[in-house]
């Protein structure tokens, strides 16, 4: 039978595809393959952590029948948790900042979750901040469970148990480098640890990080536009002993690569995926990787969530990326 029992059974086992144009155009000889996490049922790598975090909370008794999941998130983790909550009959409440688009809130509500909106423009310690609002809700609601993806060891553990083995098996042990963006750090720490153990330390683990994030330059932390990656603090989910090096990529280069992945490779992925691919190409070029090397890049989510931003020329121009729009423009038939 190839009919899955539930959507949870469709999490993981995402495919790997070789890039055929971008690395070659940059003079890279190594194979660069992308793991397409948008093939998960909730549309991102975060389905993996949602399932494992909820499994663990059920086992430990933190989450009981009729329980309520409360988390401050607008993004992929919210979608993963909302989907698993729906499947298991839990109520889910997400606290999001008011900068979060209506379409992202609509996705969470579509799965039956409740969305509480908090102001963006306040300090994290302000009682109105989405962190503090979620703390208060979790304390006040009987049976509430707060997954806290930044601190929860089940995030990296889910990637150690699933993402790592999948890549090792799909590449038949030929992977030499693993590249992933770092947000909570769960993906790179769990997957990287597995791949290092499986290869007796041979696989190199490379983090991709936005310009402005603490991981690549703690002395120059500032705002940036790439979503889902980079931080201004070190979360517990990030094990710094696993990454061998970190490649810094700016917004413009990440977005240009994201647009080129759609136009030249047929891969509609998000900005953190473009950033990770840009980092892989840069690393392969700077380190003269050759035909014998296989670089696997994890692409966390789909470009469909960014149609109003990275794939919108008006938004790109308004945010200082007019040159990227020009460089990735298609020749017009009218001219
Ligand atoms: N890209 C996107 C779009 C994400 O939502 C996340 C998760 N925050 C990441 C990359 C980074 O993954 P991780 O938290 O496991 O480091």
For residue 111, give the CATH number of its domain.
Answer: 3.40.50.1100
At how many degrees (to 10) do helices 76-88 and 46-60 cross? Answer: 50
Domain count, the chain: 2
* Averaged pLDDT score across all residues of the chain: 95
Positions marked catalytic? 46
Task: Tell me what pLDDT residue 4 has.
Answer: 96
Mean pLDDT score, 98-126: 90
Instruction: Give yes or no for residue 122 having a pLDDT over 90.
Output: no
The reply to whether 200 falls in a domain is yes
Q: CA-to-CA distance for 194 and 48, rounded, in angstroms?
A: 15
Residues 238 and 170 grouped into a single domain: yes
Task: Tell me what pLDDT residue 19 has.
Answer: 98
Query: Which tens digit of pLDDT belongs to each residue from 249-298?
Result: 999 999 999 999 999 999 999 999 999 999 999 999 999 999 999 999 99
The reply to whether 330 falls in a domain is no
**ipTM of the assembly?**
0.98
The reply to whether 50 falls in a domain is no
Residues 247 and 310 grouped into a single domain: yes
pLDDT band at 334 (very low <50, low <70, confident <90, very high): low
Closest CA to 97 of 140, 128, 135: 128
> What is the atom index within ligand 1 of the atom nearest the CA of 270?
3
The reply to whether 46 falls in a domain is no
Mean pLDDT score, 217-225: 93
Residues 190 and 279 grouped into a single domain: yes
> What is the atom index within ligand 1 of the atom nearest the CA of 238?
16
The reply to whether 112 falls in a domain is yes
The reply to whether 261 falls in a domain is yes
Task: Tell me what pLDDT residue 168 has.
Answer: 98
Choosing from 142, 176, 208, the residue where a domain stops is: 142
Q: Which helix or strand (DSSP H or E) is residue 81 part of?
A: helix 76-88
pLDDT band at 23 (very low <50, low <70, confident <90, very high): very high
Closest CA to 137 of 156, 120, 118, 121: 118
Question: Residue 20 gets which letter from DSSP?
Answer: S
Choosing from 87, 109, 142, the residue where a domain stops is: 142
For the purposes of burial, counting CB atoms within 10 Å of the CB of 14, is it exposed (0-12), middle (13-18) or buried (19 or more)? buried
Residues 72 and 174 grouped into a single domain: no
DSSP letters for 246-290:
EEEE-HHHHHHHHHHHHHHH---B-HHHHHHHHHHHHHHHHTT--
pTM score of the predicted model = 0.96
Choosing from 142, 172, 201, the residue where a domain stops is: 142
Query: Which tens digit of pLDDT belongs to each residue from 135-150?
Result: 999 999 999 999 999 9
Q: For the ranges 12-26, 40-54, 100-114, 309-323, which has the lowest average pLDDT?
A: 100-114
Atom 8, ligand 1: residue with shortest CA distance: 228
Residues 315 and 211 grouped into a single domain: yes
The reply to whether 48 falls in a domain is no
Residues 188 and 313 grouped into a single domain: yes
Q: Ligand 1 test: best mutation among 36, 44, 45, 279, most atoms within 8 Å of CB?
A: 45
Task: Tell me what pLDDT residue 67 has.
Answer: 97
Residues 94 and 33 grouped into a single domain: no
Q: How far apart are the first and last CA of the chain?
A: 54
Residues 304 and 214 grouped into a single domain: yes
At how many degrees (to 10) do helices 76-88 and 102-110 cross? Answer: 20
Distance 300 CA to ligand 1 centre (A): 6
The domain of 130 spans 65-142
Residues 75 and 123 grouped into a single domain: yes
Distance 330 CA to ligand 1 centre (A): 30
Residues 310 and 210 grouped into a single domain: yes
Q: CA-to-CA distance for 223 and 104, rounded, in angstroms?
A: 21
Distance 207 CA to ligand 1 centre (A): 12
Task: Tell me what pLDDT residue 260 has.
Answer: 98
The reply to whether 124 falls in a domain is yes
Atom 7, ligand 1: residue with shortest CA distance: 228
Task: Tell me what pLDDT residue 194 has.
Answer: 99
Token duo for residue 298: 């994890």
Name the pairing type of β-strands 16-18 and 31-36. Answer: antiparallel
Mean pLDDT score, 55-76: 94
Q: What is the dihedral of CA 230, 232, 235, 238, to 10 degrees?
A: 40
> What is the atom index within ligand 1 of the atom nearest the CA of 183?
16
Contact by Cβ (8 Å): 16, 37: no
Distance 301 CA to ligand 1 centre (A): 9
The residue assigned the tokens 């499947």 is 87
Q: Is the dihedral of CA 282, 266, 75, 224 positive or negative?
A: positive
pLDDT band at 204 (very low <50, low <70, confident <90, very high): very high
Mean pLDDT score, 11-30: 98
The residue assigned the tokens 């999001």 is 96
Residues 187 and 261 grouped into a single domain: yes
Residues 35 and 72 grouped into a single domain: no
Pocket-forming residues, ligand 1, beta carbon under 6 Å? 75-76, 181-187, 227-229, 270, 272, 300-301
């Amino acid at each position: 039978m190839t009919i899955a029992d539930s959507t949870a059974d469709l999490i993981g086992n995402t495919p790997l595809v070789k890039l055929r144009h971008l690395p070659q155009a940059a003079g890279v000889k190594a194979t660069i393959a992308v793991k397409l996490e948008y093939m998960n049922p909730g549309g991102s790598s975060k389905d993996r952590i949602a399932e494992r975090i909820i499994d663990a909370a059920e086992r430990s008794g933190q989450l009981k029948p009729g329980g309520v999941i409360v988390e401050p998130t607008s993004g992929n983790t919210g979608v993963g948790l909302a989907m698993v909550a729906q499947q298991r009959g839990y109520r889910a409440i997400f606290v999001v900042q008011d900068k979060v688009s209506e379409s992202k809130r609509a996705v969470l509500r579509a799965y039956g979750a409740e969305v509480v909106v908090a102001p963006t423009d306040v300090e994290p310690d302000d009682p109105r901040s989405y962190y503090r609002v979620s703390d208060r809700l979790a304390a006040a609601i009987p049976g509430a469970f707060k997954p806290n993806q930044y601190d929860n060891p089940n995030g990296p553990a889910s990637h150690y148990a699933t993402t790592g083995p999948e890549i090792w098996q799909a590449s038949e042990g030929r992977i030499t480098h693993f590249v992933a963006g770092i947000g909570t750090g769960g993906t790179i720490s769990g997957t990287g640890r597995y791949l290092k153990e499986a290869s007796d330390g041979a696989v190199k683990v490379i983090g991709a990080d936005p310009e402005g994030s603490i991981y690549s330059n703690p002395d120059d932390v500032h705002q940036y536009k790439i979503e889902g990656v980079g931080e201004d603090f070190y979360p517990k989910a990030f094990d710094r002993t696993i990454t061998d090096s970190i490649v810094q990529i700016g917004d413009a280069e990440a977005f240009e690569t994201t647009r080129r992945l759609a136009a030249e490779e047929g891969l509609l992925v998000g900005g953190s995926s473009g950033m990770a691919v840009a980092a892989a190409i840069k690393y392969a070029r700077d380190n003269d990787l050759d035909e014998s090397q296989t670089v696997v890049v994890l692409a966390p989510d789909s470009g469909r969530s960014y149609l109003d931003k990275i794939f919108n020329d008006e938004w790109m121009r308004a945010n200082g990326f007019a040159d990227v729009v020009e460089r990735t423009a298609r020749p017009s038939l009218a001219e």
